[in-house]
């Protein structure tokens, strides 16, 4: 059993599947794909009216889990969109949009494992998704 | 609030978000899409390292140091959130601080520097 004190030292793994581009709206993307996004952004607009403007129009679903290996959260993320891959592919062909998975890893004292399973890689490729891993070690001093 | 710490020792927050390119190659060849995208969106000056060309008060990349995660934690700054607007380019940037206290995003190769200034306050946890 994992004690609460230990759990707070576990990495937080937060992968996002993003459809990115311009010349379309996130609502159009949601309608055509048939999945409700967790977050959207429109190129040039500032999130909540402040901060940096988005560089692209984006439609995003994400997963957040504590754990030591990135493959589980990435698989859970890909599971959210896998059944709609045909619709996603059609949207990409129609709009020229691209996809990527951005995996944010926050470290708090315990290490993370950064390997992906063959099945995850196969699904990433089928979804035409680039993979980007971003690690921030908050325990680093 | 905690997130103001990075720029609180600087000479005051600028309203704009300057993008500073350390070399023309980055912009001309578009090898880093984020740099041109930011400049395009914000109509920000592109500042060239050392030449003074459009430079104004461009910091020297050599004087900008990456902020380690422990300090980010102490300041309550969520680095992933701050970098989120960069999209898939976010993993190519770190949060950094100049000797005068200004806050920046700096690419791994130090070729591109984005001045965060007041925006950091908005995006900090």
Nearest CA-CA distance, residue B16 and chain A, Å:
10
- Please state the domain extents for chain B: 2-6+16-113
Quote the pLDDT of residue A53.
80
B67 near A CB under 8 A: no
Cα(A16)–Cα(A76) distance, integer angstroms: 11
A57-62 and A12-21 as β-strands: parallel, antiparallel, unpaired?
Answer: antiparallel
Nearest CA-CA distance, residue A71 and chain B, Å:
18
Q: What pLDDT, in 10s, does the model give residues B76-108?
A: 888 988 888 888 889 999 999 888 888 888 888
Q: Give the residue on A whose Cα is nearest the Cα of B81.
A: A104
Q: Give the residue on A whose Cα is nearest the Cα of B105.
A: A52
Per-block mean pLDDT, blocks of 10 residues, chain B (125 long)? 40 46 38 48 41 48 84 86 85 88 84 71 51
Token couple for B45: 């000056």
Q: Give the residue on B whose Cα is nearest the Cα of A58.
A: B87
Quote the pLDDT of residue A57.
95
Low-confidence ranges of chain A (pLDDT < 50): none
**A137 — phi, psi (to 5°)?**
-100, 100
- In which domain, by residue range, is A107 found? 4-137
Q: Do A136 and B87 touch (CB under 8 A)?
A: no
The pTM score is 0.79
Helix axes A118-126, A71-82, angle to 10 degrees: 40
Q: What pLDDT, in 10s, does the model give residues A57-87?
A: 999 999 999 999 999 999 999 999 999 999 9
Number of structural domains in chain A: 1
Q: What is the DSSP secondary-structure string of B24-63?
A: HHHHHHTSSHHHHHHHHHHTPPEEETTT-TTTTTPPPGGG
* Contact (CB, 8 A) for A58 and A41: yes
Quote the pLDDT of residue A116.
97
């Amino acid at each position: 059993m994992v004690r609460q004190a230990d759990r707070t030292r576990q990495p937080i793994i937060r992968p996002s599947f993003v459809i990115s581009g311009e010349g379309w709206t996130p609502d159009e993307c949601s309608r055509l794909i048939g999945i409700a996004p967790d977050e959207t952004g429109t190129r040039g607009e500032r999130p909540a009216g402040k901060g940096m403007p988005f560089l692209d129009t984006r439609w995003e679903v994400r997963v957040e889990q504590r754990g030591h290996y990135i493959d589980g959260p990435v698989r859970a993320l890909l599971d959210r969109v896998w059944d709609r891959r045909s619709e996603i592919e059609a949207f990409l062909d129609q709009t020229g949009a691209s996809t990527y998975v951005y995996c944010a890893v926050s470290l708090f004292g315990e290490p993370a494992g950064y390997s992906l399973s063959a099945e995850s890689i196969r699904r990433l490729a089928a979804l035409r998704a680039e993979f980007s891993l971003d690690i921030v070690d908050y325990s680093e001093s | 609030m905690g997130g103001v710490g990075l720029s609180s020792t600087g000479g005051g927050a600028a309203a704009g978000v300057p993008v500073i390119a350390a070399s023309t190659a980055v912009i001309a060849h578009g090898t880093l899409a984020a740099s041109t995208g930011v400049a395009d969106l914000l109509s920000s000056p592109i500042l060239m390292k050392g030449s003074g060309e459009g430079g104004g008060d461009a910091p020297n990349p050599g004087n900008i140091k990456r902020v380690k995660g422990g300090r980010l934690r102490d300041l309550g700054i969520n680095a992933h959130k701050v970098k989120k607007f960069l999209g898939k380019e976010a993993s190519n940037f770190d949060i950094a601080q100049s000797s005068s206290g200004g806050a920046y995003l700096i690419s791994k190769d130090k070729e591109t520097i984005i001045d965060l200034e007041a925006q950091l306050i908005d995006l900090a946890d």
